Structure 1
Amino acid sequence: MIAKTVVALIGFSTVFSATAQDRPPSQPDPGDTEVWAAEPRRVVPGSSAIAPSDAIVLFGGQDLREWVSTTAPDKPASWIVTDGVFTVRPGSGNIQTRRLFTDYQIHLEWRVSPSATGSGQGKGNSGLFLASTGIDSGYEIQILDCANNRTYANGQAASIYKQHIPLVNACSAAGEWQTYDVVWTAPRFAADGTLLSPARVTALHNGVLVQNHVEVQGESVYAGKPSYRKHGPAPIKLQDHGDAVSFRNVWVRPLSGTASLP
């Protein structure tokens, strides 16, 4: 009797096992991988002349109230504002934002005068400093007429100056408006000044990717090797390099922290 029962159970197990193997696997429920709770906040996108709804407009065509002199941050910027555009006043010095930023997205439009002369670094030179750490220091994306003007590759337009050559030369001709769209991730430092993580930059020039999440080696320098020194949130700076470069439609979207006043 026991032997017959064992045989019966073995037979049942074999049949059950075969039946289980033949049964198609259950299909996953798509609802298990749907996330509904962490819904992104709504941002109204901008256009060629209008900033996104959550952006801080740094220049909307009227005045330079968001900018100050780099040499005297308590004094307003003295560059020229006319017809919805502001232009470097050669010899007046660099200007920087009143607010301090950490990580952000910035949109900026710039134009070299159609009558610009010179060659190499002497034709339509300015710079967008993504974080200013002093009067002439910080992390620079070069602004320069490079449509038909050769210079060293790591100093041409859209380069991270003396560090990263742009992937392509996307320059328009002098006299035409050009755009920079940049994502800046600031460096992080320990309390003792040790670098915890380097800065990173992604940049588009006239809608073309020119810097792809590159690692910045330190502050931009004209001679020598770049290096880091501890700093916190910093202003954005535009350079007076002696050329009458013009700007318009400048806005920024903070991506971490807040845009604070010093």
Structure 2
Amino acid sequence: MKNLGYLLMVSATLSFSCGGSSEQSAETVEVEVEENEWVELFDGTSFDGWKKYGGGEVGNAWKIKDGTLYLDAANKENWEQGDAGDIVTVDEFENFHFQLEWKIAENGNSGIIFLVHESEEYSYPWMTGLEMQVLDNDGHPDAKIRTHRAGDLYDLIESSEETVKPIGEWNLAEIIVNQGELQLHLNGVMVVSTSLWTPEWEEMVANSKFKDMPGFGKYRKGKIALQDHGDEVWFRNIRVKEL
């Protein structure tokens, strides 16, 4: 990732002795500090930087219109083999801050899956990656299950509070992974916070639906996936910053 340089003004107080008396002089020192910049993962017009999970170009079921990337599930009766499927970033990320906006159709279900390890060994991103749930809480039956509602760390940790907006409205989702610490934010509120790869984490996974998936939650660097769950879903303003 590229770095963005900026100047930090530091006020330094220098003390020195002169002729037996003490004087103090203050001067301002300019120090150049490097800060990672946001990198756009979706340019609003193309699928550059994205691919179909498992190989190949993004399928025709995924569309782009007015700066928005969406799954055209309203026309899925016209899908042909290979049109649909989960999509993933070409690049992998380890310590990062990821952001996007999403909205979901009535009764819809999708997800943002991260730390995804793509290989022939795993047929789907969710076999390795963790998921921030995208859901119509009011209409989809999955919402009846704790840890399956919008903003939850899917099947592992439920949100501390519900901040999701009604269907058809945009939600700001943020995923922060840094040195084994995970935070999920939804609409400006931190709704999940946990430590990864600890004994407590392993126990939590062992008590989840992922218990029989040996690759789940094991990879400390991976891709980010947008899930095709067969429902209409829209994404925009997708970006990431390395930490």
Q: Is the 8 A contact 1:109 1:179 kept in 2?
A: yes
Of residues 64, 69, 75, the one that matches 2:57 is 75
Q: Residues 221, 96 of structure 1: CA spacing in aligned structure 2 closer, same or farther, 3 A cutoff? A: farther
1:214, CA displacement in angstroms? 4.4
Note the C-alpha offset of 1:227. 6.6
| Deviation, structure 1 residue 76 | 3.7
- How far is 1:175 from its partner? 0.3
Moved more, 221-230 or 170-179: 221-230
Local SS of the residue matching 2:147: helix
Partner of 1:151: 144
Matched with 2:79 is none
Shift of 1:234: 1.5
Q: Is the 8 A contact 1:142 1:158 kept in 2?
A: yes
Taking the aligned partners of 2:170 and 2:186, their CA distance within structure 1 comes to 11
Match of 2:111 in 1: 127
Cα offsets for 1:115-160 (capped at 9, x unmatched): x2xxxxxx22111111112423211111111256642121111111
- Judged with a 3 Å threshold, the aligned counterparts in structure 2 of structure 1 residues 59 and 37 are, in CA distance, closer, same or farther, namely same
Contact conserved, 2:70 with 2:232, CA < 8 A, in 1? yes
* Gap change, CA 1:221 and 1:40, over 3 Å in 2: farther
Match of 2:185 in 1: 204
Structure with higher Rg: it is: 1
Gaps of 5+ in 1: 1-29, 44-53, 117-122, 187-198, 256-262
Question: Percent of counterpart pairs with the same letter?
Answer: 25
Counterpart of 1:179 in structure 2 is: 172
The residue identity in structure 1 corresponding to 2:112 is: L
Q: Distance in 1 between matches of 2:159 and 2:137?
A: 12
Question: How far 1:183 sits from its partner (Å)?
Answer: 0.5
Cα distance, 1:223 vs structure 2: 2.6
Q: Which amino acid aligns with 2:50?
A: W
Separation (CA, whole Å) in 1 of partners of 2:89 and 2:49: 6
Q: How does the TM-score come out when normalised to structure 2? A: 0.68
Residue 84 (structure 1) aligned to one of 42, 67, 70: 67
**Alpha-carbon separation, structure 2, partners of 1:65 and 1:160:** 28
Q: Deviations over 1:221-243 (max 9, x none)?
A: 97353776454632111110111
Normalized against structure 1, the TM-score is what? 0.64
Query: Number of residue pairs matched?
Result: 192
Q: Is the 8 A contact 2:98 2:176 kept in 1?
A: yes
Q: Would you say 1:95 and 2:87 are equivalent positions?
A: yes
Asked if 1 retains the 8 angstrom alpha-carbon contact of 2:181 and 2:193, the reply is: no
1:162 aligns to what?
155
Q: Which residue pairs with 2:43 in the alignment?
A: 60
Deviation at 1:38, TM superposition (A): 7.2
Aligned residues: CA RMSD: 3.0
Which amino acid in structure 1 is aligned with residue 190 of structure 2?
Answer: L
- Pick closer, same or farther for the CA change 1:222–1:55 going to 2, 3 Å: same
Partner residue in 2 for 1:223:
209
